[in-house]
Amino acid sequence: MVRRIALGLLSVFVLTVAAMAAKEVSPVLNFKMKNILGEEVFLADYQGSVLLLVNVASKCGLTPQYEGLQKLHETYKDKGFKILAFPANNFGAQEPGTEAEIREFCSTKYKVTFDMFSKVSVKGEDMCDLYKFLTDPATNGEFAGEIQWNFQKYLIDKKGKVVAKFEPKTKPEDPKLIAAIEKALGE
């Protein structure tokens, strides 16, 4: 009887290890970041969702894109789509505020309900590891290259693979961006 229980437990263990190996985390999701409240978030928790990663700023000519991003979020959130916004002060000091100020601005002015993260650096010597990954040709191939400005967008599929990059001036309602999101959601 004890032997049967031990064999049963061993079988469960082997199946669990095999399942974990089969659900290997994509390299782009293999980062731990802090959300805008300062809580650690494992990006691997987003695996299985289609993601749009965007570096954002509150005092930029492109800041009104928050409105379009919120509409995208509302349209596709129930279909497995998530927006991850990373405030950055790398371009023209256009995100000088604290996390509390950024959160207040986004929730009051644009009614943002998508996932916001703590301020990061997206270029230069203090670039955060996630953006090092996204900009390095060795890790992000055809979608690598320097961040051009605020509101550059990376589309990540359900498996955690970068499948598209959109320049900062690409508005959230751009038909090419919407088509890419819908394609990724359908796969």
- Parallel/antiparallel/unpaired status of strands 162-166 and 153-156: antiparallel
Among the listed residues 25, 60, 163, 185, the single catalytic one is 60
d(CA 31, CA 65): 26
60 catalytic? Reply is yes
* Residues labelled catalytic: 60
